[in-house]
């Protein structure tokens, strides 16, 4: 259940962006049919959050195969035009997918997909997405609990049902996710939730907040070691971030993960590259990845190189401040001591 607060925090943009909006006859928000090819540029941002259930099957699955209703997905992306398919709808999505809790398999990870959307009528669209899926599975093999990292594929099929009367671009998302992973089990899940197209994403965030300035911030929250014996530990971090162009950024962070009093008391420095997708004048989502050099006081104490993957939802307050929720995955690539960091932070802009 430790991921439920993350899911709740990730749906904030849908609730906030839906306030104060009304449909207007002269403007198209949610794509109505395949003839509106010009909407590729206007409807250029997307986000969805969905929950569901499913089961694991195949190699290495024992006991109860159910995901126990703990399956969820959060995705965001940007619509793109493909020169050879100018009248078709394509999107690039970044995804965090959690496969729930079948017996002895607690797997989740991050995926990227190319998504094709087919409008069927004014109320219904179908989507087909496929891409690589980097997963981390907490599992016990031969009596030893490990964090098993593997690269596989995520296939998604979804029906998008318009509920635009509540907010422009809003829809119900009904999805089927299938995971194929080499040398281990596969899974299939049905999920339902909400999604939203963000029309005419404003330039204010890029032009006034994502060029030239340095942003400095701090975060605090909980770190959870992906191991059955461990409990959550408080921690914090400090970060400096700079943006380049419209949708790219780079950051350097000092991280104190906290002490779980069993396996991990780690701290270090991380550098990340970021893809940033504004949603409206105040909200944005972003994904970051990069190296993380750290030392574990409950381990060897030596400096070790890890990976850090991040997903962030942020809210601007004026031009100089923003608050955000950040979910980080520390990937050690050593089959042990991977960690999830869920933190809330604030940043301030400093003009150089």
Spatial CA neighbour of 69 closest among 92, 51, 46: 51
Could you count the other beta carbons within 10 Å of the beta carbon of residue 105? 23
- ∠29-12-124 over CA atoms, to 5°? 35
User: Which of 219, 237, 227 lies closest to 298 in space, CA to CA?
Assistant: 227
Q: Which residues contact 327 (CB under 8 A, 6 or more apart)?
A: 6, 96, 310, 311, 312, 340, 341, 342
Q: What letter would DSSP give residue 75?
A: E
The angle subtended at Cα 240 by Cα 251 and Cα 325, nearest 5°, is 80
Interior CA angle at 329 toward 146 and 63, to 5°?
40
pLDDT in tens, the chain (352 residues): 444 445 545 555 554 554 433 333 333 333 333 222 233 344 489 999 999 999 999 987 888 999 999 999 999 999 988 888 877 889 999 999 999 999 999 999 999 999 999 999 989 999 999 999 999 999 998 889 999 999 999 999 999 999 999 998 999 999 999 999 999 999 999 999 999 998 867 654 444 545 578 999 999 999 999 988 788 999 999 999 999 877 899 999 999 999 999 999 999 999 999 999 999 888 999 999 999 999 999 988 999 999 999 999 999 998 899 999 999 999 999 988 999 999 999 999 998 7
Which H/E stretch holds residue 270? strand 265-278
Are residues 348 and 320 in contact, defined by beta-carbon separation less than 8 angstroms? yes
Task: Report the predicted TM-score, pTM, of the whole model to 2 decimal places.
Answer: 0.85
The pLDDT score that the predictor gives to residue 37 is: 28
Q: Give CA–CA dist 318/87, Å, rounded.
A: 38
Rg, C-alpha atoms of the chain: 20
Both tokens assigned to 334: 């050593």
pLDDT at 210: 53
Query: Can you give the pLDDT at residue 161?
Result: 97
Q: How many other CB atoms are there within 10 angstroms of residue 209's CB atom?
A: 20
Residues with Cβ < 8 Å from 61, sequence gap 6 or more? 102, 103, 105, 185
Q: Report the alpha-carbon distance of residue 293 to residue 295 in Å, rounded.
A: 7
Q: Positive or negative CA dihedral for 309, 107, 91, 22?
A: negative
Cα–Cα distance for residue pair 340/223, rounded to 1 Å = 6
Nearest 5°: the CA angle 23, 27, 33 is 100
* Structural domains for the chain: 4-198 (2.40.160.20), 204-350 (2.40.160.20)
**Dist. CA 6–CA 334, nearest whole Å:** 26
For the chain, how long is the longest CA-to-CA vector? 65
């Amino acid at each position: 259940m430790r991921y439920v607060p993350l899911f709740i925090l990730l749906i904030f943009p849908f609730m906030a962006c839906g306030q104060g909006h009304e449909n207007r006859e002269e403007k198209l928000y949610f794509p109505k049919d395949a003839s509106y090819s010009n909407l590729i540029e206007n409807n250029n941002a997307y986000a969805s959050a969905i929950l569901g259930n499913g089961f694991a099957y195949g190699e290495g699955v024992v006991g109860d195969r159910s995901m126990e209703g703990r399956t969820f997905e959060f995705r965001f992306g940007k619509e793109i035009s493909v020169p050879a398919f100018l009248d078709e709808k394509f999107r690039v999505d970044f995804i965090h997918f959690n496969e729930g809790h079948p017996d002895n398999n607690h797997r989740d990870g991050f995926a990227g997909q190319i998504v094709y959307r087919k409008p069927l009528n004014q109320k219904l669209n179908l989507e087909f997405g496929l891409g690589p899926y980097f997963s981390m599975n907490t599992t016990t093999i031969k009596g030893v609990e490990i964090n098993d990292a593997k690269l596989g594929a995520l296939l998604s099929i979804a029906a998008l049902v318009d509920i635009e009367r509540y907010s422009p671009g809003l829809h119900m998302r009904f999805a089927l996710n299938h995971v194929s992973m080499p040398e281990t089990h596969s899974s299939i899940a049905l999920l339902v939730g909400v999604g939203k197209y963000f029309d005419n994403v404003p330039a204010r965030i890029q032009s006034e907040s994502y060029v030239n300035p340095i942003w400095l911030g701090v975060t605090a929250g909980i770190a959870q070691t992906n191991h059955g014996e461990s409990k959550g530990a408080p921690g914090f971090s400090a970060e400096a971030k700079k943006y380049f162009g419209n949708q790219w950024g780079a950051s350097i962070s000092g991280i104190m993960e906290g002490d779980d009093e069993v396996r991990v008391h780690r701290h270090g420095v991380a550098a990340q590259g970021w893809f940033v997708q504004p949603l409206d004048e105040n909200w944005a989502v972003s994904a970051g990845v990069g190296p993380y050099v750290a030392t574990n006081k409950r381990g060897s104490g030596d400096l070790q190189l890890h990976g850090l993957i991040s997903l962030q939802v942020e809210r601007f307050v004026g031009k100089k401040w923003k608050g955000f929720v950040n979910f980080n995955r520390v990937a050690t690539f050593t089959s042990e001591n991977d960690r999830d960091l869920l933190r809330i932070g604030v940043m301030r802009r400093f003009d150089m």
